[in-house]
Chains A and B, each alone.
Chain A
Amino acid sequence: MWRDTRMIMLTAVVAAVYAAVLIPFNAIVIIPGLTSVRPANVFPVIFGIMFGPAAAWGSAIGNLISDIFSGQFGAGSLGGFVGNFAFGFVSYRLWGNLGALSSGEEPDFRGNSGRQLVEYVIIAVVGSTACAAIIAWWLDILGLFPFSVFATIVTINNTLASAVLGPPLLYLVYPRIKEMGLLYPDVLRSEDYDTSAGARSTLGGYGVAATAILWVVIGVAIGVGVEGFGFFVSMGSVFNQGGSTIQMALGAVGFLSLFAFSFLARERFSQIRRN
């Protein structure tokens, strides 16, 4: 991807647009200074589907720029960078990779729009959850906020913005972006992306979805004290004054699984586009 000038420019533009919309537009402020429903959170999903890896890197850089310009740059920014990368990357890898749940169509919401909507919403939920899990895990490791609190808030925020805004935005902009020739299968050389229509790829897609959702569900369950885990993190069990050891271990497994499954899930959008 980094060999192609247009992909590099797309990365820069995605990053700049994401940051430019992240900062001034807050739809609903939940905790001042900490969390709000941000319409910009739709971008990693729709950009991920259209611009592929450029959107993943662009979302990560855009979130970093937002941290820099809003005065929140710090150790926590690394989690935001990786989490937003995953937000875009998951969306890129999942379109067309959800087996029976996939529409098998381009995301223009014009043909079989009901099935496209189902596929889109699943991707929005999975991307939002993966992003939330990674950021919450990192903040828990740093000992800034408990996993269960942050993962819940970010999952809801991201899902709301991306699920509500994504379909109308794609309906309106997808044909124009396609006409401009900026969809990633039109920009990248075929040897620059891994494509597959095999069952292994679908398994990867389901694996990404299951991992992201289970990570957040189990992590929150541990935090709120179900299944015999204590509600409290005793000070003695707090690893090196960072997050709780069990959340760290769960996060390590979740992160590695997400990484492995998302590489198993080869992109399939280029084949849909060709057909």
Chain B
Amino acid sequence: MSDSTSLYVDGDSLLHRLDPRSKLALSLALFVPAYVFGRPEYIAIPLVVAFAGLLAGGGWRNLKRIWFILVALFVVGLVLWPNFVEPSGPTLVDAGPILLTLDQLLFALGRSLRIATFVVTGLAYISTTANEELVRGMRGLGIPYAFCFAVGTALRLFPTFLGAAGTVRQAQEARGLDLSASNPIERIRNFVPLLIPVFMTAFRNVETQSMALEARGFDTRRERTFYRESAFAVRDWAAVALAVAVVVGAVALSSTGVGTF
């Protein structure tokens, strides 16, 4: 997929060559430690690994695209969480209503690192997995074909509708549509002339597309055969084994109190 809306980066890295299911297992192997540990120094480990995976998969340009979101999520977590944790440990800041202790800060830092780990891991997965592979992976996991077909079709239609939405926006703004009204209700209402054309463009062809599918023998009730079957290579089994080992190890360690508050 080469359209600019996709975050997939074409490449031949090890992550690119892995089956989407084994990549999912590896993602879980980063999610689980980030979840079961609470101390920031422990959560930093899966975050560093996720960053390394992202860079190895050529996802640097994607990181540049979303760095603002990542930083915003990190900062919001860092600011929010101290307000939801009982103050304990040495005091770092005590200025009027603002009280921040070392434990509160470490707790909040751990939560923000967890958010960052989840986002970077997801980004590494998306950067190295094409849309078609995503759908193939879902099918390989036993998800019903009709659902996978709907996801695959939506992924194909999405860039078209995204383009249509941009065109409609430019056209309506050229006609004087103001999307910067100061009254929030007024601003939301001004989106009506944008949504109607996008909406109607999308649904106009549902009937003919359905007929075209059925004319080609589309039938979700019968057992399907596929030209390209997913094959789990040795490297995929190795990735799954590694993921299982990491998950089991992280859960075992955290249950003994390692890396937790």
Contacts and interface: CB of A to CB of B under 8 A. Distances in A.
Interface stretch (A33-41, A103-111, A188-196, A198-206): A33-41
Interface string A231-262: 11111001011100000000000000000000
A143 B35 contact: yes
Contacts of A217: none
A24 B189 contact: no
A68 B196 CA distance: 25
A180 interface: yes
Q: Size range of the interface on B?
A: 35 or more
Main secondary structure of the interface of B (DSSP, over half): helix
Of A8, A37, A182, chain B has the most CB atoms within 10 Å of the CB of A8
Of A6, A64, A235, A238, chain B has the most CB atoms within 10 Å of the CB of A235
Interface residues of A, number: 75
12 contacts: A5-B210, A10-B206, A12-B157, A13-B202, A17-B202, A32-B68, A67-B122, A165-B189, A180-B204, A182-B206, A241-B254, A242-B35
9 nearest A-B residue pairs (beta carbon): A33-B72, A74-B122, A20-B161, A71-B66, A15-B154, A12-B153, A33-B69, A16-B157, A74-B118
Given A21-B195, A145-B76, 8 more contacts: A2-B146, A2-B220, A12-B150, A24-B165, A28-B184, A75-B35, A143-B111, A235-B38
Interface of B: 5-7, 31, 35-38, 62, 65-66, 68-73, 76-77, 80-81, 84-88, 103, 107, 110-111, 114-115, 118-119, 121-123, 125-126, 134, 144, 146-147, 149-151, 153-155, 157-158, 160-162, 164-166, 169, 179, 184-185, 187-189, 191-192, 194-196, 198-200, 202-204, 206-207, 209-210, 213-214, 218, 220-221, 254, 260-261
